[in-house]
Amino acid sequence: MRYRRSDVVERAVTVLDQHGLADLSMRRIASELGLQPSALYHHFASKQVLLAAVADEILDRGARTPHDQLAWDAAVVAICHELRDAMLAYRDGAELVATVHAFGLGTRSPVGPLVAALGRGGFALDFAHAAATTLVHFVFGHVSDEQTHLQADSVGALGDTEIRPGAGSFDLGLSLILDGVRQQQPGQVQDVLSGRPSS
Amino acid sequence: MRYRRSDVVERAVTVLDQHGLADLSMRRIASELGLQPSALYHHFASKQVLLAAVADEILDRGARTPHDQLAWDAAVVAICHELRDAMLAYRDGAELVATVHAFGLGTRSPVGPLVAALGRGGFALDFAHAAATTLVHFVFGHVSDEQTHLQADSVGALGDTEIRPGAGSFDLGLSLILDGVRQQQPGQVQDVLSGRPSS
DNA sequence: ACCTGAACACCGTTCAAGT
DNA sequence: ACCTGAACACCGTTCAAGT
What confidence score (pLDDT) does residue A184 get? 86
CB A51 within 8 A of CB A7: no
Report pTM.
0.93
What value does the mean pLDDT of chain A take?
Answer: 92
Q: Helices A72-88 & A93-102, crossing angle to 10 degrees? A: 120
Residue A193 has pLDDT above 80, yes or no: no
The DSSP line for B80-143 is HHHHHHHHHTSTTHHHHHHHHHHTT--S--THHHHHHHHHHTT--HHHHHHHHHHHHHHHHHHH
What confidence score (pLDDT) does residue A155 get? 76
What confidence score (pLDDT) does residue A160 get? 62
Of residues B163 and A15, the one with the higher pLDDT is A15
In the DSSP assignment, the letter for residue B21 is G
Residues of A within 8 A of B192 (CB-CB) are 183, 189-190, 192
Top mean pLDDT of A157-171, B13-27, B145-159 is at: B13-27
Helices (H), chain A: 5-19, 26-33, 47-61, 72-88, 93-102, 111-120, 125-155, 167-183
- Structural domains in chain A, CATH included, are 5-182 (1.10.357.10)
What confidence score (pLDDT) does residue A177 get? 98
CA B122 to chain centre: 25
Strand pairing class (B190-191; B196-197)? antiparallel
What confidence score (pLDDT) does residue B65 get? 87
Name the pLDDT band for A198 (thresholds 50, 70, 90). very low
Percent of chain B having pLDDT more than 70?
A: 90
Nucleotide nearest to A24 (CA to C1'): D11
B166 close to A (CB below 8 A): no
What value does the mean pLDDT of chain B take?
Answer: 92
Of residues A163 and A114, the one with the higher pLDDT is A114
Residue of B125, B158, B177, B198 best to disrupt the A interface, most CBs of A under 10 A: B177
| CA–C1' B107–D19 (A) | 58
User: Which pLDDT tens digit goes with each residue over B131-188?
Assistant: 999 999 999 999 999 999 888 778 766 566 777 888 899 999 999 999 999 998 765 5
Q: How far apart are CA B130 and CA B125, in angstroms?
A: 9
Name the pLDDT band for B1 (thresholds 50, 70, 90). confident
Q: List beta partners, residue B190.
A: B197
CB B24 within 8 A of CB B72: no
What confidence score (pLDDT) does residue A187 get? 55
User: Which pLDDT tens digit goes with each residue over B37-66?
Assistant: 999 999 999 999 999 999 999 999 999 989
User: Per residue in A140-158, is it b (16+ CB within 10 Å) or e — as a string?
Assistant: bbbbbbbbbbeebeeeeee
Of residues B191 and A151, the one with the higher pLDDT is A151
Answer yes or no: do B176 and A130 touch at CB < 8 A.
Answer: yes
What confidence score (pLDDT) does residue A185 get? 78
Of A152, A181, A192, the CB nearest to B176: A181
User: Which pLDDT tens digit goes with each residue over A127-150?
Assistant: 999 999 999 999 999 999 999 988
A25 close to B (CB below 8 A): no
Q: Chain B: nearest CA to A4, how far in angstroms?
A: 31
